[in-house]
Structure 1
Amino acid sequence: MLQTLRDKTSGWIATLILGLLIIPFAFVGVNEYMGGGGDVPAARVKAPPSWWSSAPAFWPVSMLWQHADVTTKDFKDAFEQQRIQQRQQQGDGFDARQFESADNKRAVLEQLVNRKVLELAATRAGVTISDAAVRAAIASEPVFQVGGKFDGARYAQVLSSQVPPIKPSEFERQQRDGLQVSLIPTALDQSEFVTPKAMDQLFQLLGETRDISIAALDPPILEQKPLTDAEVKQWYDAHQADFRQPEQVKIEYVEIDGNALAAAQTPDEAALRKRYEDEKSRFMAPEQRLASHILITVPEGADAAAQKAAEDKAKALTEQANAPGADFAALAKANSQDPGSKDTGGDLGWVDRGMMVKPFEDALFSMQPGEIRGPVKTDFGYHVLKLREQRGGGQTKSFEQVREELVKEERAAAAERAYSDTAGKLVNEVLKNPTSLSDAAAAVNLKVQTLGPFSRGDAQGIAGVPAVQRAAFSEALIQDGTASDPIEIGPQHSVVIRVLQHTDEQARPLAQVKPQVEAAIRNDRAKKAAAEAAQKVLARVQKGESLQDVAKAENFQVNELPGLPRGAPVPSPAGNAAVFAAPAPKDGKPSAGKVALDDGRYAVFTVNKVTPGKTDEIPEAQRVQFGQQIARLQGNAVVEQYIKTMREGFKIEVHEDRL
């Protein structure tokens, strides 16, 4: 049998089949062909080759297309970063379930897709970023500056303090990528401007005032005849959504408040002294070094010869600095390549441990005052170090000096222990019988309280805390009837809840809501009557009667409002918008309109005169600032259009099932 199989897999036919199979393997790799190649993309942006913009997308021509992927890891990292930002912004109001919505995920993915579109567009346009541009961008970041100037020590400290630490070479690569992606959008944004004529037109509109006559009409008096059962039933049937009872729950809960558990007593003196002795090292003044340096940089990717040249130069400078009568500051000003300290003679100020990269720190903190040492190699290049002074590292505050601090810490620790012990014991007891809180509460000498029924809109007390409310209305607690985990509502303050009763949202019977239905009918009739009355007045004005004559005949009052500015909440925000949306008077005839007021009444108005804003009274500084704001808005619109246009020329594949 094996021999037969061998015979059938030999010969020219088998060779041809094998050759055909090699083709896809050669293009996409065995791993990807078998479905196991790396992180699968959540989205892929494809672009035809720049030299063949109309290239078809079918195989094998599609192999010529460029592509950029948004991997599932890219998406997860961005989505988690967005989650952290929203949680920080919203605090207790953050709703994890709402955040996990499909729309939210798609919005984050769209941002990543747009970035990939810009990456491809920049690559196809041949955008490259020079080393000088990268260095200038880094030096301009305020976080890397001291006294308004780039500081190499500060730069090293910030990068090394990241979690995980970032190497300068990696950070520079990130900056280069970011500059490449943003170069075209930034150029488009900055190319926008506003002409003086357009500025004058905008100021004329924004500063425009209108002289108006306005009358707020009293609501018409309606006959309060009884409503028939048929009218009530018809309205109820047509508006059942307005008369539903919202979802409600009733809960029991146990509250754990650390402030109430721990008595504010002065800690034992022996305990305070023991704490002082155990933690004596933290009351020692930190060791600091007053340092200067000369930096000889080594370009990224430099060969051995370039590195050796930099090292030799640093050695020579070390010898010069150690020579009798040498001026270290003058040598630094003449030779150092650290732009942040060169002009100050290499001065780095007082340096704490952890501020510098390890080779620099190890050397500096092993030196004696006045000593000069070098070369010291770091990722930045070769340093010549001078230790000018040292302080701290041996002075310890006495027990009496720190006693009050220890008392506060001991009280806080006691309160935290009491809270943790009680919460831990309560949870253990709840786990024994999660369908009741009575036994668990008794075990920790706390009482069970009840609250509700309440809905999401009328929750009071602890139920008004968003986290508690989310748990109370969660499917898990409603369906299982079990106790929740402790829900934090403040520092050392939490509750454990259990849903006792749940009522779904449901229609309320007509008999129960009949008064509300009747009120809704009368309110609707009053609104329609008020709108109809206002329309009749407006029609008379539009036919040629003055608003004053109509007011006199109908016995209502007209108010004159000369110089009404745009945007003023008069007669209301909506009323002001309606006044300025009305056409300007024409041929000496005022224009007219009506608007509903916040109290249910209607107002009828006429626009008698329009006065454009005075452009010659606008301060130059305000004109410049306003022009910049308008140009920025226009620039944002241009960038959005650029991204949209690029997307239309690319092919975008989105795999929402991988989010």
Structure 2
Amino acid sequence: MFDFVRQHTRIMQFLLFLLIFPSFVLFGLEGYNRSLEKGAPVATVDGVDIMQADWDNAHRVQVDRMRSSMPNADIKLFDTPEAKYSTLERMVRDRLLQVAADQLRLGVSDQRLAGELQQNPNIAALRRADGTLDIERYRQLLGSQGMTPEMFEAQVRADLASRQVMSGVGVTSFSPAALANVTLNAFYEQRQVQVARFAASDYASQIKPTDADLQAYYKSHAEQFQSVERADIEYVVLDLASVQKNIVVPEAELKSYYEQNMSRLAGLEERRVSHILINADKTAPAAERDKARAKAQELLLAVQQSPDKFADLARKNSQDTGSAAKGGDLDFFGRGAMVKPFEDAAFALKKGETSGIVETEFGFHIMRLTDIKQPKQKSFEELRASLEVDVRRQLAQRKFAEAAEQFTNMVYEQSDSLKPVAERLKLDIQRASGLAREALPNAGNAVLANPKFLASVFSADSIEKKRNTEAVELGANVLAAARITQHSPARTLPLDEVKARVLEQVKAIQSAERARQEGAAKLTEWKAAPDAAKLSAPIVISREEKQQLAPAVIEAALRSSTQTLPAWVGVDLGTSGYVVVKVEKIVPRDMAKNRARERDQYAQWWASAEGLAYYRLLKEKFKAEIKVARL
């Protein structure tokens, strides 16, 4: 197909013009591009599709949010196929609850919305000293996230309405004490048992598989003895670093950047303040705060009458124990170090000037500006190295889109080699041997561990025709392309090569079968003659106290009928062997121990089960479906 396209370019251009032009006329170029960019639907809720592009964008936002909240965490932990699928599940859940809220006509009052916004810590930080909201900073905060206040408040209102859908089930959940006791007694029941283990490993020395046994197992399990499909490849990676290293920054541009950013490069102004603090908690009664304010007013008059005695007044009267002994001195600080009312007052004063009463969440302050430290302006030569790094990075950001377009076109148009694109963009051709379709755990190379990259390398066109892969986007500003130089397809290995593995597996199966036969025979014998049984000493087991027994043994012992005791149970553990259990008696449970905690836990289980059942009902009612397989 691709050969035909390359050999008949003009014919294909004419055919594509005939096919595409009518769609432009009917739907418009913007709509056409949008339909291509959206991709295929990945989920649907109430007849409305969630498109691939919506999913990609939502996960990108989620990863960015995690990066900003945990800057020191490895972001690769959040950008995995499993994490991305979780994002899609969350999108479906959010969309489903919104639809349900609309159908149930669940609304949110203005008072409820206001209360929710007041509890938001990001918004609370924007409040002035008098409690009013700084609207301009509020708009700036939301604008940085691409939202207006109206959009944000509509989103919060929708979220609150969606929460009501499930909270109604949780609030009305009820688990009677009698039912809880019956269930908990059964779940935490204790039983005294004796066991006999028939481990498969104990019979291994008795097993002597024949060549016929090995041949039969090898033929019936050939898929277990295949070599992994592998490929030797060469590949190139285009990222910001590769673009940046080829950029030469003109001297004139460096000097222009220096001049435009002199104030920022110089650093921040710092101020040295002394203060007198009279404590007054913002939650204190009004009378108590008025008394503190009056005390501060008296001290302010004393300072105004004798400015030179500020330090002495601070030592005797300031209730800031950290600075009082130093005459109220707080040393130098820059913007952002103090609470906003204090900072605003400090940076409004002139050197040697005293403030009025400044109220903060700590109380009432009297401030005196004792010094100002202006930032030192470094010369161009002192900053030249760091300036070049900054400018080179910015230029790389601008030029990456152009380089990415060249990269994408060249790996396709000159598909028989990566050398042309490497030479044009000055990229290194890297090589890897023995690459498999599935990334190895903890692979050191992020490119070779990327599922999209591996899928492209092992595509039919790449394998059969040894052509370059398409340009694969591995992340923000990272593209890669590869080509296979040597391909080794998966094949069934000869029996001679895997005979040791076959022998090991056949011995394990036959040993387990011998253990099962011996255990089942003893179970029948001991049921008939209990006194002949060779069992362990009695132990008490429960779902909390497993006594180093396999979970299957615990469950079998606790589920066995106790109408007639002792009860005998045989448990097949597969390749591990067989266990015979003699249940002797039920051990009374300590009803007082952790009883309240267990009932609370049961109530949570019950509420969760009801919530899950209701959510499944909503999924059926509104036909919510994820159309992509879980990875």
Q: TM-score, normalised by structure 2?
A: 0.57
| Helix, strand or coil at the partner of 1:592 | strand
CA contact (8 A) 2:209 2:507 kept: no
In 2, the alpha carbon distance for the partners of 1:239 and 1:280 equals 73
2:376 is matched with which residue? 398
Aligned counterpart for 1:135 among listed residues 110, 114, 118: 114
1:505 is matched with which residue? 490
- Asked if 1:531 is matched to 2:513, the reply is no
Relative to 1, partners in 2 of residues 1:477 and 1:180: Cα closer, same or farther, differing over 3 Å? same
Deviation at 1:491, TM superposition (A): 11
CA contact (8 A) 2:572 2:578 kept: yes
In 1, the alpha carbon distance for the partners of 2:624 and 2:562 equals 55
In 1, the alpha carbon distance for the partners of 2:503 and 2:548 equals 31
Aligned counterpart for 1:593 among listed residues 570, 575, 579: 570
2:584 is matched with which residue? 608
Deviation at 1:531, TM superposition (A): 1.5
| Helix, strand or coil at the partner of 1:220 | helix
In 1, the alpha carbon distance for the partners of 2:219 and 2:530 equals 44
CA contact (8 A) 1:262 1:418 kept: yes
Aligned counterpart for 2:210 among listed residues 224, 227, 236: 227
2:76 is matched with which residue? 91
| Helix, strand or coil at the partner of 1:81 | helix
In 2, the alpha carbon distance for the partners of 1:44 and 1:224 equals 53
CA contact (8 A) 1:249 1:452 kept: yes
In 2, the alpha carbon distance for the partners of 1:177 and 1:419 equals 37
- Asked if 1:452 is matched to 2:437, the reply is no
CA contact (8 A) 1:592 1:606 kept: yes
2:153 is matched with which residue? 172
How many residues are aligned here?
487
In 2, the alpha carbon distance for the partners of 1:606 and 1:223 equals 28
* 1:564-579 mapped onto 2 (5 Å cutoff): 564-568=541-545, 570-575=547-552, 577-579=554-556
In 2, the alpha carbon distance for the partners of 1:44 and 1:489 equals 23
| Helix, strand or coil at the partner of 1:571 | coil
In 2, the alpha carbon distance for the partners of 1:562 and 1:616 equals 22
* Identity rate, percent: 15
Deviation at 1:190, TM superposition (A): 0.9
In 1, the alpha carbon distance for the partners of 2:42 and 2:470 equals 38
In 1, the alpha carbon distance for the partners of 2:625 and 2:240 equals 50
CA-to-aligned-CA distance 1:560-604 (integer Å, 9 cap, x gap) = 36333424564354345435543264444244332427x723332
In 1, the alpha carbon distance for the partners of 2:53 and 2:239 equals 37
Deviation at 1:192, TM superposition (A): 0.8
Amino acid corresponding to residue 607 of structure 2 in structure 1: R
1:183 is matched with which residue? 164
Relative to 1, partners in 2 of residues 1:189 and 1:249: Cα closer, same or farther, differing over 3 Å? same
1:639 is matched with which residue? 614
CA contact (8 A) 1:211 1:609 kept: yes
In 1, the alpha carbon distance for the partners of 2:164 and 2:258 equals 57
- Asked if 1:465 is matched to 2:449, the reply is yes
Relative to 1, partners in 2 of residues 1:86 and 1:607: Cα closer, same or farther, differing over 3 Å? farther
Deviation at 1:407, TM superposition (A): 6.7
Aligned counterpart for 1:241 among listed residues 213, 218, 223: 223
* 1:116-515 mapped onto 2 (5 Å cutoff): 117-123=99-105, 127-146=106-125, 153=133, 157=137, 160-162=140-142, 163=144, 165-205=146-186, 207-218=188-199, 219-220=202-203, 225=208, 227-229=210-212, 231-253=213-235, 279-282=261-264, 283-285=266-268, 349=341, 396-399=374-377, 435-436=416-417, 449-452=431-434, 454=436, 456=438, 462=445, 465-466=449-450, 469-475=454-460, 477-479=462-464, 481-483=466-468, 497-510=482-495, 512-515=497-500
In 1, the alpha carbon distance for the partners of 2:101 and 2:221 equals 53
Amino acid corresponding to residue 537 of structure 2 in structure 1: E
In 1, the alpha carbon distance for the partners of 2:225 and 2:90 equals 38
CA contact (8 A) 1:437 1:448 kept: no
Deviation at 1:535, TM superposition (A): 1.4
In 1, the alpha carbon distance for the partners of 2:584 and 2:394 equals 71
CA contact (8 A) 1:210 1:610 kept: yes
1:545 is matched with which residue? 530
1:63 is matched with which residue? none
Deviation at 1:75, TM superposition (A): 8.2
In 2, the alpha carbon distance for the partners of 1:417 and 1:167 equals 31
Amino acid corresponding to residue 164 of structure 2 in structure 1: L
1:292 is matched with which residue? none
1:4 is matched with which residue? none
In 2, the alpha carbon distance for the partners of 1:414 and 1:600 equals 63
Relative to 1, partners in 2 of residues 1:92 and 1:496: Cα closer, same or farther, differing over 3 Å? farther
Relative to 1, partners in 2 of residues 1:577 and 1:396: Cα closer, same or farther, differing over 3 Å? farther
CA contact (8 A) 1:192 1:634 kept: no
2:314 is matched with which residue? none
CA-to-aligned-CA distance 1:509-561 (integer Å, 9 cap, x gap) = 44544444344333322221122112112222333515xx332xxxxxx4336
Q: TM-score, normalised by structure 1?
A: 0.55
For structure 2, the 5+ residue unaligned runs are: 1-26, 67-73, 246-251, 272-296, 298-338, 345-353, 357-365
Relative to 1, partners in 2 of residues 1:550 and 1:406: Cα closer, same or farther, differing over 3 Å? farther
Amino acid corresponding to residue 218 of structure 2 in structure 1: Y
In 1, the alpha carbon distance for the partners of 2:110 and 2:77 equals 45
CA-to-aligned-CA distance 1:188-220 (integer Å, 9 cap, x gap) = 221113333344345434544333222322433
Relative to 1, partners in 2 of residues 1:185 and 1:93: Cα closer, same or farther, differing over 3 Å? closer
Relative to 1, partners in 2 of residues 1:164 and 1:274: Cα closer, same or farther, differing over 3 Å? closer
Amino acid corresponding to residue 161 of structure 1 in structure 2: L
CA contact (8 A) 2:238 2:427 kept: no
Amino acid corresponding to residue 195 of structure 2 in structure 1: I
CA contact (8 A) 1:592 1:605 kept: yes
